[in-house]
């Protein structure tokens, strides 16, 4: 168990690529810049993989794009695994639509370690676009990852807006929540931002949000990308009063990095100004039955 960790969250630039080699070279250079911040954990955003639709000249039809992406999965995983090994880092790859054996597509984010281990988290609660227009299905399991950096969890974009998911991960030992996101409106960005901050407050843990930035006129899935990466903290003594360790400039490609104090957060859960994590259970006494209606008309 480590006490402090330097992390970097991507403001990942969306652009078209001429070939797989062009993409791999660009990703390698981008990751190297993240490593140069001194971070031992790098977080890439949701659907960063979809820039590859430019490489394979995938049709604009959304369902056809899902099928066209599948042959790239092995190379995509291998590339990120090699970057994690080469730089000696833990790397959360941009999530990628993945066809399961049951015939459903899920939105899957892989976490790679420098030693070659890997684990994934599927998105669990789908947006209307994913569910109604694109045909991406919900995953079926919530996970945490025991690593040399501590116990990490992943909450993909919309998932972070549902507090019981992060709570279950925190109760399973997660001290750091990674939120890869992809939002195409200012409102969408703020929903994920405030969801991430709320999860940090409730569970007295750190949350790292990564975002996509830039436009993709060739893609109906990545068309517009809005947001700013950030590292959120508990809101208590020893941490920023607004719960924001660092936040990037919106729509500007690059990395946002910060050193997080895991030991200090552990101490808050035992003896903070408030005890959000412990007091979560007190809600049950008031929510076990329906709220009483009082008629003031």
pLDDT given for residue 149 in this prediction: 97
Say how far apart CA 294 and CA 297 lie, in whole Å.
Answer: 9
pLDDT given for residue 65 in this prediction: 85
- pLDDT confidence band for 58 (50 / 70 / 90): low
Average pLDDT over residues 240-246: 97
Mean pLDDT of the chain: 95
> How would you classify residue 38: left for phi > 0, otherwise alpha for psi between -120 and 50, otherwise beta?
left
pTM beyond 0.85? yes
CA atoms within a 13 Å half-sphere pointing along the CA-CB vector of 198: 16
Q: Within 10 Å of residue 79's Cβ, how many Cβ atoms?
A: 19
On the question of pLDDT at 219 being above 70, the answer is yes
Average pLDDT over residues 39-56: 95
Average pLDDT over residues 160-187: 98
Average pLDDT over residues 209-235: 93
Q: Are 118 and 112 in contact (CB under 8 A)?
A: yes
If we measure between CA atoms, which residue out of 48, 5, 3 comes closest to residue 257?
5
Average pLDDT over residues 26-39: 98
Those residues whose C-beta lies under 8 Å from the C-beta of residue 246, and which sit 6 or more positions away, are: 230, 231, 256, 257, 258
pLDDT given for residue 175 in this prediction: 97
On the question of pLDDT at 251 being above 80, the answer is yes
On the question of pLDDT at 164 being above 80, the answer is yes
pLDDT given for residue 59 in this prediction: 62
On the question of pLDDT at 61 being above 80, the answer is no
If we measure between CA atoms, which residue out of 289, 262, 267, 280 comes closest to residue 6?
262
pLDDT given for residue 222 in this prediction: 86
Q: Are 109 and 124 in contact (CB under 8 A)?
A: no
Q: Within 10 Å of residue 222's Cβ, how many Cβ atoms?
A: 23
On the question of pLDDT at 63 being above 80, the answer is no
Those residues whose C-beta lies under 8 Å from the C-beta of residue 208, and which sit 6 or more positions away, are: 7, 9, 41, 43, 176, 177, 178, 179, 230, 231, 232
């Amino acid at each position: 168990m480590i006490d402090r960790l330097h992390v970097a969250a991507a403001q990942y630039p969306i652009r078209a690529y001429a070939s797989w080699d062009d993409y791999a070279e660009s990703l390698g250079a981008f990751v190297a810049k993240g490593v140069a911040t001194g971070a031992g954990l790098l977080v890439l955003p949701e659907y960063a993989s979809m820039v590859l639709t430019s490489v394979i000249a995938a049709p604009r039809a959304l369902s056809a794009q899902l099928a066209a992406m599948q042959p790239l999965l092995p190379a995509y995983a291998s590339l990120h695994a090699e970057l994690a090994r080469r730089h000696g880092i833990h790397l959360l790859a941009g999530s990628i639509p993945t066809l399961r054996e049951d015939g459903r597509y899920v939105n899957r984010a892989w976490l790679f370690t420098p030693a070659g281990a890997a684990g994934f988290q599927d998105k669990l609660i789908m947006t209307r676009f994913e569910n109604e227009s694109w045909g991406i299905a919900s995953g079926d399991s919530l996970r945490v990852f025991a690593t040399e950096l501590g116990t990490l969890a992943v909450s993909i974009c919309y998932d972070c807006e549902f507090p019981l998911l992060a709570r279950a991960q925190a109760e399973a030992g997660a001290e750091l929540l990674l939120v890869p996101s992809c939002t195409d409106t200012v409102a969408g960005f703020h929903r994920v931002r405030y969801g991430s901050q709320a999860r940090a407050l409730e569970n007295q843990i750190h949350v790292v949000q990564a975002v996509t930035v830039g436009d993709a006129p060739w893609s109906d899935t990545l068309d517009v990308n809005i947001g700013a990466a950030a590292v959120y903290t508990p809101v208590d003594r020893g941490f920023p009063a607004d719960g924001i360790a660092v936040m990037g400039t919106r729509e500007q490609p690059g990395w946002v990095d910060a050193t997080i104090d895991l030991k200090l957060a552990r101490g808050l859960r035992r003896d903070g100004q408030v005890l959000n994590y412990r007091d979560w259970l007190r809600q049950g006494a008031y929510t076990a039955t329906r709220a009483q209606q009082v008629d003031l008309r």
